[in-house]
Every structure is written in structure tokens, then in C-alpha cells.
């Protein structure tokens, strides 16, 4: 370890030689290398985290460049995990960077997060966050939640066995189509940096052993209205299905969105978890209007995107047909980006 490059942060009380060594010995996985994952992974790599693993299923697109700071125009079409790895290695050759190009689901998360001391949330959908939460509680691996949409952001630290888990705070994920996404509501770059900075700061505290200084509140803010709020997360819920009763619905595969290629149709069928049985199609159609031509009836929403050769059909129970997708993973990405979960 080239200790000299970390001199300025080692002067901070709570870091020093011992803290820097602990950072160098740490292994962190960043799940999702979109906007949040880009900023948080760069901050951690610059801080000297010994091993950072970046996981993502998508490729770089032109619209990513406004906020996903590890990528350049020359990266368009390149897997995000690969492009992020190469950029992070150029930033700090003193540490190890691992890239995993994969979809995070109940079958893959154990391998993708294996041997890591901390999980950083760089995700864009609640289904995978609830899966990460299940894995965190089941294995005792801390994780740091982060989310950003429009001009708002939020974050929270989950310490299994100590703080409330995600299901204590949000017992159920929002139903598909009921919440905006970055593709429907937009997002400003500075919002990303604020959330990711909070995630990285809490990660550094945790990994250097400064446990008592960790922020144990649910932080929310709106950069446009200049408001912020820190809500005490309280105690763990004894009746929480996850950390109270050890029921891991997502990790065990009971609440996972299923995908199926439709033979001869050049289409993929996506079925959300059970319980999402009333998707507001007209609300979804209104949000999608800026992205293409969509028509809606009480029974079905159907249309085509302007900037992607993708045809989308959505039913009230959340089931969707994605026609023209390149793969199962691409279809799931389209579903998460435009419908939500």
C-alpha cells in the first residue's frame, strides 16, 4: 500500500494508520453501477478500499453520461461493470477492482456478494433492494441503502442484528408502476452525489471501526426545495418478517419477478411478484407519454418507445410483454426503468 497517497484523510481523527490499514483490508461490493454506484465506488476506491467489486447487468448508454460519472462517450455500448472497472483501476492502481457482469437475483447474489464486508446499494429497483436486504440479514453483512429520483434522495445504514432492516422501515415494496423512476421523472446529477457521499461516509466509518459515529437515521432531502429530514429509524420490529422472523421471501425466490422468452414472438414475458394486482395503467401511460406513443384501456397498455426499438404491453396485474428486447436481462432492465419494480 502506497500510504502517502492517503495522507490527507489519515490526518482525520478516527482514521490514522490503523484506520487506513482497515480500509485496505476491506472488501466492498457495489451492486448496481449506475449513477449512485459510479459515485460511491469512486469515492471508496480513492479512499483506499482494498477490494471493490462492481456488479451490473447493463451497458453504457448516451443518456447515462449526464450523471454516471465513471463513463465517457467512448464507453457507449460497453458493459457498465467493465467500463467502471477500467476507470477505477486508472484512478487507483494501489487496490483491487473486480467486475461482475451479471443480473443480481436469488440464484446469483450469494456468489456476487461472497466474502465482502459491506454492500453498497447502487440499484434502481426495490425488488433487488429487498433481495439485498434478505441476504444482508441472513448472512450478517451490513449494507447501505441509497435512492435518488428527480431532486430528492434518501439513504440509511442497515446493521444486521443492530439497526432496523429495510423491511422494518418499508414492510412491502411499492407496487409496480406506482412510483416514478429516473426514466419517467428524471434525476439531477448533484442529487446523486449527495446520496453517494452519505453512503461513502458511512462506509468509511463502518470499515474503520468507528461504529458509534454511524448515522442511524433514514436521511431524506429535496435539493430543489432545500429541505432535509432525518427520521429516527427506531428499534427493530419484532414482527418484521425478515430480521424478526427470519423469513427471506426474496432470497428464497418466493417474491422474485419471473421472466420467460416467448417462442416465436421476439418477446419476453415478465411477471412481478404476487400481491401486485392493481397497476394504474392510465397513470403509467401518462408517465410514458414523453418516451413514445402509448394507448391505454382498462385492460391493457400498449405502445412503442421513440428512442428504443422496443414494444411494451402491460396488463393490470403488472404482467408485461417486452418485444424487441436483446435478452432476458435487457427486458428486465426495460421493465425496471419504465414500470418500476
Set of cell numbers at residue 132: 439485498
Same domain, 74 and 130: yes
Same domain, 201 and 114: yes
Average pLDDT of the chain, as a whole number: 91
Same domain, 191 and 282: no
Same domain, 189 and 113: yes
What is the pLDDT at residue 277? Answer: 58
pLDDT tens for residues 162-180?
A: 999 999 999 998 876 777 8
CATH of the domain at 105: 3.40.50.720
The answer to whether residue 237 sits within a structural domain is no
pLDDT tens for residues 182-241?
A: 877 889 999 999 999 999 999 999 999 999 999 999 999 999 999 999 988 788 999 999
What is the pLDDT at residue 267? Answer: 77
pTM listed for this prediction: 0.82
What is the pLDDT at residue 336? Answer: 87
Q: In which band, very low, low, confident or very high, does the pLDDT at 268 lie, cut at 50, 70 and 90?
A: confident
The answer to whether residue 282 sits within a structural domain is yes
Same domain, 91 and 217: yes
Q: Which domain holds residue 207?
A: 3-232
Q: At what angle do helices 35-47 and 189-207 cross, to 10 degrees?
A: 40
Same domain, 29 and 178: yes
- Torsion angle defined by CA atoms of residues 47, 53, 58 and 61, in that order, rounded to the nearest 10 degrees: 20
Q: What is the DSSP letter of 58?
A: -
Q: In which band, very low, low, confident or very high, does the pLDDT at 329 lie, cut at 50, 70 and 90?
A: confident
Q: How far is CA 72 from the centre of its chain?
A: 21
What is the pLDDT at residue 341? Answer: 61
Same domain, 122 and 202: yes
Same domain, 198 and 300: no
The answer to whether residue 249 sits within a structural domain is no
What are residue 101's phi and psi, to 5 degrees?
-95, 95
% pLDDT > 90, the chain: 66
Among 180-184, 197-201, 298-302, 304-308, name the one with the lowest average pLDDT.
180-184
Q: In which band, very low, low, confident or very high, does the pLDDT at 275 lie, cut at 50, 70 and 90?
A: very low
- Top-confidence residue, 30 or 330: 30
The answer to whether residue 171 sits within a structural domain is yes
What is the pLDDT at residue 261? Answer: 60
Same domain, 39 and 126: yes
Same domain, 226 and 271: no
Helix (H) or strand (E) holding 118: strand 118-121
Amino acid at each position: 500500500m502506497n500510504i502517502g497517497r492517503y495522507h490527507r484523510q489519515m490526518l482525520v481523527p478516527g482514521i490514522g494508520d490503523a484506520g487506513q490499514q482497515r480500509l485496505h483490508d476491506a472488501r466492498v461490493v457495489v451492486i448496481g453501477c449506475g449513477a449512485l454506484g459510479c459515485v460511491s465506488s469512486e469515492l471508496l476506491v480513492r479512499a483506499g478500499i482494498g477490494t471493490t467489486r462492481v456488479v451490473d447487468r447493463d451497458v453504457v448508454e448516451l443518456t447515462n453520461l449526464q450523471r454516471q460519472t465513471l463513463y465517457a462517450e467512448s464507453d457507449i455500448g460497453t458493459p457498465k461493470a467493465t467500463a467502471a472497472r477500467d476507470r477505477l483501476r486508472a484512478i487507483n492502481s494501489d487496490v483491487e477492482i473486480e467486475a461482475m457482469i451479471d443480473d443480481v437475483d436469488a440464484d446469483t447474489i450469494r456468489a456476487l456478494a461472497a466474502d465482502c464486508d459491506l454492500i453498497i446499494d447502487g440499484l434502481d429497483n426495490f425488488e433487488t433492494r429487498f433481495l439485498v436486504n434478505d441476504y444482508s440479514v441472513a448472512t450478517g453483512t451490513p449494507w447501505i441503502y441509497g435512492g435518488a429520483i428527480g431532486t430528492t434522495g434518501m439513504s440509511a445504514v442497515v446493521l444486521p442484528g443492530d439497526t432496523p432492516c429495510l423491511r422494518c422501515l418499508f414492510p412491502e415494496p411499492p407496487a409496480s408502476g406506482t412510483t416514478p423512476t429516473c426514466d419517467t421523472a428524471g434525476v439531477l446529477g448533484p442529487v446523486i452525489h449527495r446520496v453517494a457521499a452519505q453512503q461513502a461516509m458511512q462506509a468509511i466509518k463502518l470499515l474503520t471501526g468507528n461504529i458509534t459515529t454511524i448515522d442511524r437515521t433514514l436521511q431524506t432531502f429535496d435539493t430543489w426545495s432545500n429541505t432535509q429530514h432525518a427520521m429516527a429509524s427506531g428499534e427493530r420490529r419484532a414482527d418484521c418478517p425478515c430480521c424478526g422472523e427470519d423469513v427471506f421471501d426474496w432470497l428464497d425466490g418466493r417474491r422474485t419477478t419471473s421472466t420467460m422468452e416467448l417462442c416465436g414472438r421476439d418477446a419476453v414475458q415478465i411477471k412481478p411478484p404476487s400481491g401486485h394486482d392493481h397497476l394504474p395503467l392510465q397513470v403509467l401511460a401518462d408517465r410514458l407519454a414523453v418516451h413514445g406513443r402509448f394507448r391505454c384501456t382498462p385492460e391493457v397498455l400498449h405502445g412503442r418507445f421513440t428512442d428504443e426499438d422496443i414494444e411494451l404491453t402491460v396488463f393490470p396485474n403488472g404482467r408485461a410483454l417486452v418485444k424487441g428486447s436483446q435478452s432476458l436481462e435487457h427486458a428486465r432492465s426495460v421493465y425496471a426503468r419504465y414500470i418500476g419494480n
